[in-house]
C-alpha cells in the first residue's frame, strides 16, 4: 500500500484481523469493545476530543455537564451488560427509580408511579392509584394497556401515534399527561408524526415489561464516564488503539482490504465499522454503496436548559414531568435536579425540551427566562425566576424523526467487510442509547462472521 503519511495502525502479526471503527459514540464503542474482546486488532477513530458522540460530557462553568440529560431504562439490557464488561458497576453509575410520570403537586398534572409489585400488577396498581386522573381517564389507560397486551404490542400496519390513540379512544387528559409526553420523550417526535409501531415497542419494554425492566435509570456520572471512556480503556488494554481529533474523509478499496483516509493520513484495514451519524455515513459511502449514499432522514432537535440557582435550592423529587404548553410560553417537559444526582452540582436544574425546533426560535436568553418562569410558577417557588447563570445546549440533529413506516438500513452494506453501526440502523427501537449499543454489537457480530 502507498503510505501517504503517518500510519494509523501498524499490525505486527500478519494474521491479525485489523478493524477500523470510525466514530466513538455509544455504537462505535460497543462495536469496538465486542471486537477487541473477540481478538480483533481494533483502531477506534473519533473526530471529537472525547468519546460519547450524542451522549457525551460537556464541560461548562467548572461542571461536568452532558450535551443533554439522558434517561436509560431497566430494559436497556445490552447497555447495562456492556457497562459491566468494561469493568464498571451499573448500580454505582446509575440510580434506579420506578417507572413514573409525576407532575409537581397543584399544577393540574398527575401523579403516576409504579409500586414494587410484579408485572403487570405494578401497572394496574399505578393506574388505579394515579392522582389527578378521572375515572374515565383511568378506564382509557386500562383499555389501552389491555388492548396493547392483547395485540402483543404489535401492529400489522404502521400509523401515527395520534391515530393509535384515537383508535383506543383515549381521553384528552390521558393524551396530554401521559401519551404525548411519553411519545416525545421516547421517540423525540410529536405523536401526530410519530410511528405507532415503534411507540408500542417502547411501551412493551417499559409499561408492559417486568418491574425492573420498566425502571428509569438516571446517570450519576457524566455520559462519557458512564461507558465510552471505560470502553476506551478496555480497548487499549486489549491492545487496541484509540485516536481523537481524527476526522475520516474517505474510504477506498485496496484489493480485499480498505484504505481509511483521515486528514492526509491513510491506513489499511481488513474491515471497517462505520459508526458515524447517518449524514456522515452516507457521505463516506458515496462511491461504495449507492443505497447507503442516498439514505435520508429528517431530524429532530433536543434542547437542555441548565439553570443554576443558589446551592440551597433543591426540588422535592429528583425529577418532575412538566406540562408544556407553547401557546402559554411553557416549554419545559421535564426538570431534573442535578444536585440530587451529582454531588458537586447543588442548585443546578436541567430542563429538557424534546422535539424543540419551535422552542429554539425563541432565542436562548428568552427561552431560559420563560423556562425559569415556568418552574417558578408550577413549583410555587418565586426564587426560581432568577438564575445565577444559565446555559442552553441544543443538539439540532439529536435523533432521526421516528415517523411511520420509516425505512432504516440494516447493518450490512454492499461492500464486504464494511458494516454500519448507529442508532439509525433497522431495529425495534427509536434513536436511543440501547438502539446504538445493540447496533454496535450486531455490527461486531457480522464482522466476526465474515472474518
Ligand X SMILES: Cc1cc2nc3c(=O)[nH]c(=O)nc-3n(C[C@H](O)[C@H](O)[C@H](O)COP(=O)(O)OP(=O)(O)OC[C@H]3O[C@@H](n4cnc5c(N)ncnc54)[C@H](O)[C@@H]3O)c2cc1C
CA dist., res. 421 & res. 130, Å (int): 40
Alpha helices in 2-76 (DSSP H): 26-37
Rounded to a whole number of angstroms, the minimum distance from the CB of residue 132 to ligand X is 24
CA dist., res. 389 & res. 23, Å (int): 33
E strands, 241-388, are 241-243, 248-254, 257-262, 265-269, 271-274, 299-308, 319-321, 334-337, 348-354
In the window 227-256, what residues touch ligand X (CB under 6 A)?
Answer: 247-248
Tell me the number of residues near ligand X by CB under 6 A. 36
Pick 22 or 401: Cβ nearer ligand X: 22
Triad 285, 189, 49: Cα angle to 5°: 50
Pick 263 or 344: Cβ nearer ligand X: 263
Binding segment (CB under 6 A) for ligand X, from list 204-212, 237-245, 276-284, 370-378: 276-284
Binding segment (CB under 6 A) for ligand X, from list 1-9, 57-65, 237-245, 433-441: 433-441
Pick 57 or 211: Cβ nearer ligand X: 57
Length of the chain: 451
Radius of gyration of the chain (CA): 23
**Number of Cβ atoms within 10 Å of the Cβ of 277:** 20
* CB-based contact 347:391 (threshold 8 Å): no
Binding segment (CB under 6 A) for ligand X, from list 49-57, 114-122, 163-171, 327-335: 49-57
Binding mask 5-34 for ligand X (x = CB under 6 A): -----------------xxxxxxx------
Residue 300 is a binding residue for ligand X (CB under 6 A): no
Rounded to a whole number of angstroms, the minimum distance from the CB of residue 305 to ligand X is 12
Binding mask 391-430 for ligand X (x = CB under 6 A): ----x--xx----------------------xx-------
Pick 72 or 315: Cβ nearer ligand X: 72
Rounded to a whole number of angstroms, the minimum distance from the CB of residue 314 to ligand X is 23
Residue 48 is a binding residue for ligand X (CB under 6 A): yes
Binding segment (CB under 6 A) for ligand X, from list 62-70, 211-219, 233-241, 360-368: 62-70
Three-state secondary structure call for residue 445: helix
Pick 206 or 372: Cβ nearer ligand X: 206
96 sits in which H/E element = strand 94-97
Q: From residue 295, give the alpha-carbon distance in Å to each of 124, 192, 399, 421.
A: 42, 23, 15, 14
Pick 170 or 208: Cβ nearer ligand X: 208
Binding mask 69-108 for ligand X (x = CB under 6 A): -xxx------------------------------------
Q: Torsion-angle region of residue 242: left (phi > 0), alpha (psi -120 to 50) or beta?
A: beta
Pick 218 or 313: Cβ nearer ligand X: 218
Backbone angles phi, psi at 256, to 5 degrees: -95, 0
Pick 208 or 278: Cβ nearer ligand X: 278
CA dist., res. 298 & res. 302, Å (int): 14
CA dist., res. 98 & res. 114, Å (int): 6
Q: Which residues bind ligand X (CB under 6 A)?
A: 22-28, 45-48, 53-55, 67-68, 70-72, 247-248, 275-277, 280, 302, 395, 398-399, 422-423, 431-434, 436
Amino acid at each position: 500500500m502507498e503510505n501517504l503519511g503517518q500510519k494509523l495502525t501498524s499490525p505486527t502479526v500478519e494474521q491479525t484481523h485489523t478493524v477500523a471503527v470510525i466514530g466513538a459514540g455509544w455504537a462505535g464503542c460497543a462495536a469496538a469493545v465486542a471486537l477487541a474482546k473477540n481478538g480483533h486488532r481494533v483502531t477506534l477513530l473519533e473526530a471529537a476530543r472525547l468519546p460519547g458522540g450524542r451522549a457525551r460530557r460537556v464541560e461548562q462553568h467548572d461542571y461536568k455537564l452532558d450535551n443533554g440529560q439522558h434517561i436509560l431504562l431497566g430494559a436497556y439490557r445490552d447497555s447495562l451488560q456492556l457497562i459491566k464488561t468494561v469493568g464498571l458497576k451499573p448500580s454505582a453509575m446509575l440510580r434506579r427509580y420506578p417507572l413514573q410520570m409525576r407532575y409537581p403537586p397543584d399544577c393540574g398534572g398527575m401523579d403516576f408511579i409504579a409500586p414494587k409489585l410484579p408485572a403487570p400488577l405494578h401497572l394496574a396498581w399505578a393506574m388505579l392509584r394515579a392522582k389527578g386522573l378521572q375515572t374515565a381517564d383511568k378506564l382509557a389507560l386500562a383499555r389501552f394497556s389491555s388492548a396493547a397486551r392483547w395485540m402483543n404490542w404489535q401492529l400489522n400496519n404502521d400509523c401515527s401515534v395520534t391515530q393509535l390513540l384515537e383508535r383506543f379512544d383515549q381521553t384528552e387528559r390521558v393524551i396530554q399527561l401521559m401519551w404525548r409526553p411519553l411519545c416525545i420523550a421516547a421517540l423525540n417526535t410529536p405523536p401526530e408524526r410519530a410511528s405507532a409501531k415503534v411507540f408500542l415497542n417502547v411501551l412493551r419494554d417499559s409499561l408492559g415489561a417486568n418491574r425492573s425492566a420498566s425502571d428509569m435509570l438516571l446517570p450519576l456520572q457524566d455520559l462519557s464516564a458512564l461507558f465510552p471512556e471505560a470502553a476506551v480503556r478496555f480497548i487499549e488494554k486489549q491492545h487496541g488503539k484509540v485516536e481523537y481529533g481524527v476526522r475520516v474523509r474517505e474510504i477506498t478499496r485496496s484489493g480485499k482490504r480498505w484504505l481509511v483516509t483521515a486528514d492526509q493520513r491513510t491506513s489499511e484495514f481488513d474491515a471497517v465499522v462505520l459508526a458515524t451519524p447517518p449524514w456522515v455515513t452516507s457521505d463516506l459511502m458515496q462511491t461504495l454503496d449507492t443505497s447507503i449514499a442516498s439514505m435520508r432522514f429528517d431530524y429532530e432537535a433536543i434542547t437542555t436548559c441548565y439553570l443554576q440557582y443558589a446551592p440551597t435550592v433543591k426540588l422535592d423529587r429528583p425529577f418532575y414531568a412538566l406540562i408544556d404548553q407553547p401557546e402559554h410560553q411553557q416549554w419545559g417537559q421535564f426538570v431534573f435536579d442535578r444536585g440530587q444526582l451529582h454531588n458537586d452540582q447543588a442548585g443546578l436544574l436541567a430542563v429538557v425540551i424534546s422535539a424543540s425546533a419551535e422552542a429554539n426560535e425563541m432565542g436562548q436568553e428568552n427561552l431560559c427566562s420563560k423556562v425559569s418562569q415556568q418552574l417558578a410558577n408550577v413549583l410555587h417557588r418565586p426564587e426560581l425566576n432568577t438564575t445565577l447563570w444559565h446555559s442552553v445546549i441544543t443538539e439540532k440533529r439529536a435523533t432521526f424523526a421516528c415517523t411511520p413506516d420509516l425505512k432504516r438500513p440494516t447493518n450490512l452494506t454492499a461492500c464486504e467487510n464494511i458494516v454500519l453501526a448507529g442508532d439509525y440502523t433497522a431495529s425495534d427501537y427509536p434513536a436511543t442509547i440501547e438502539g446504538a449499543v445493540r447496533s454496535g454489537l450486531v455490527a461486531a457480530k457480522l464482522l466476526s462472521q465474515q472474518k
